[in-house]
Amino acid sequence: MEKEQKGVIVAVCRSDNKGERKKNVGEALLVKEHGIENDAHAGDWHRQVSLLALESIEKMRAKGLDVNPGDFAENLTTENIALVSLPVGTRLKVDGGASLEVTQIGKECHNRCAIYYQAGDCVMPKEGIFVRVLQGGSIKVGDTITTVTNG
């Protein structure tokens, strides 16, 4: 049985358009089988919500970049949970009652983003994960996010 992981939401981000940095709005509504309400990436597909660990952002800061949560176009920034170690199919629970399922680890970057050109690297393609919303609910900075163990 996998060991339960527990982390915290440090940013809840959204944007009006795809291809732009997201802004930390502090709290949002997760809509079942859709994503974050009023976010450009929400919709009826497998990448409804994106997550990136604060630890990944700190790697980019260590390379001299001035980057913050949302700058990699992620919806949720987490801390103290090893996102990239979560297999596809892992379920996550959030304090507000929302339930998420990991659908993809990383993504292919078709276009080099501004971050890539600034740093020569970007963490989102390798360390970001994507989930779909199984059960909607509110989500806010400070909420606990926990892996749901099977067994």
Domains of the chain by start residue, with CATH:
6-148 (2.40.33.20)
Closest listed residue to residue 12, CA positions, set 147, 138, 99: 138
Instruction: Check if the beta carbon of residue 31 is closer than 8 Å to that of residue 89.
Output: no
Instruction: List, for residues 16-58, the tens digit of each pLDDT value.
Output: 988 778 999 999 999 999 999 999 999 999 999 999 999 999 9
Q: How far apart are CA 3 and CA 150, in angstroms?
A: 10
134: pLDDT strictly greater than 50:
yes
Instruction: Check if the beta carbon of residue 53 is closer than 8 Å to that of residue 67.
Output: no
Q: How far apart are CA 62 and CA 131, in angstroms?
A: 27
DSSP conformation class of 35: E
Structure tokens at 2: 């996998």
pTM of the model: 0.89
Closest listed residue to residue 132, CA positions, set 55, 29, 19, 31: 31
Instruction: Check if the beta carbon of residue 39 is closer than 8 Å to that of residue 75.
Output: yes
- Between residues 25 and 59, which one has the greater pLDDT? 25
- Between residues 29 and 60, which one has the greater pLDDT? 29
Closest listed residue to residue 140, CA positions, set 101, 100, 99, 95: 95
CA distances from 3 to 48, 63, 81, 103, 150 (A): 26, 32, 11, 20, 10
